[in-house]
Amino acid sequence: MTDRRNSTAVVAKRRTDTPIETDEIRALCEAAGVEVVAERTQARPRDPTYDLGDGAVADIAGLVERRSADLVVVDDHLDPGRAHNLQEAVGAEVVDRARLVLDIFGERAETKRARLEVRLAELRYELPRAQARVERGETQGRQGFRSGGERPAAQLKADYRQRITDRRAELDRLDDADDGLREARRESGFDLVALAGYTNAGKSTLLRRLADDLAVDENDGHGDRTDTAASRDRLFETLNTTTRRATVGERRVLLTDTVGFVDDLPRWLLSSFRTTLAAAREADAVLLVVDATDDREGIRAKVEASRDELADAEGTLVPVLNKRDAATDLDAKRRLLAEHAGHAPVVTSATGAEGLDALRERLTDALPDRRRVSLSVPNTDAGNAFVSWCHDRGTVHEPDYGERIAFGFEARPEVTAKATGRAEQLNED
């Protein structure tokens, strides 16, 4: 990770069509702490040498000199050759979109998992670039792989591959622990709900609106909790997953805010964050939060990309069209989201707390069916403790306290099965 804060940059973007928008790459620069001092766009096919054409490259070199810029940020994915050629031509460090995103991720990573995922993605990004430097006869010392002298490209590749394997193995161990944690939470009576969607759609604010005041226990040995769920208007504010308790109808729910998607990231980078996205893929329901202030084409593209990322999600997908208070053409966007998400969306304003009751109702319908059983245990201290245990994990219906305690118990099937077993044991004692 490179700390880009307080750097200055010229933004460059090439597309084959117009208009050429630079709002998002500028927002990414802001998120990285980089001040944009100039920009140069160009409508033309990709140049084989620089990505941009000769005229644009000359203009960028002039802007770098006149504005004393530290960086040239290219809103594209540059292969190692084009990045090197462009850097030589403009006289400043060249950073492409993926590298800038990795720097932002690295700055925001607070948990062990997030740091491992960022490092894994960085290794995958750096490998072809390190190989290119070796082929050009340059010394490779930036990532700490060279202890002196030239090292053959094959050995360099082996070094990277081993470090990638090591990081992946560490993440797999965390996966195993998280699988156990999710199972334990379900056995404790919680339904698991994830918030997913593009960064800055309002997921973190929505989490705060839905959550109860009581936070998940900080002392269970897992790093997916923070004291508050951040909700500032900043890209990638949530990189580390944040989990909060909520009550939806009579259901006890754990809400997890996941890392936001971002446009135009390569598949290898997204795959590095597979374990972070597992919270969404393995939830009982997923709230797919969409920014209602985006234009219709942006909504369509983002929903389709989100559905691709969540294609193997186990739970029901609930589309949420958020920021209704700031949106225009809301009815058309609602119809569009219904068409591409497969279900009519719930329309909300997380900042104004509008539409939250409708969202809770939809979420209740989306959660897995619960099972109801009839239980009877002795009216003893142990029997009363068992009833309290049931209250903590589901809904206790019409308890009748006599010589025995008889009641209906409604909860997740795995919880009612466990409760039935415990009741049988109490009746045998």
**Residues in binding site for Mg(2+):** 204, 238
Which of 134, 130, 150 has its CA nearest to residue 142? 130
Alpha helices in 69-201 (DSSP H): 80-90, 97-108, 112-135, 153-187
Residues tagged in the binding site annotation for GTP: 197-204, 257-260, 322-325, 349-351
Which of 350, 429, 336 has its CA nearest to residue 383? 429
Cα separations in angstroms, 81 against 9, 85, 150, 298: 21, 6, 20, 31
| Cβ–Cβ < 8 Å for 319, 338 | yes
Which of 9, 20, 121, 113 has its CA nearest to residue 68? 9
Residues tagged in the binding site annotation: 197-204, 238, 257-260, 322-325, 349-351
Which of 107, 27, 12 has its CA nearest to residue 60? 12
CA distance 302 to 282: 21
The strands making up 395-401's β-sheet, listed across from edge to edge, are 371-378, 404-411, 395-401
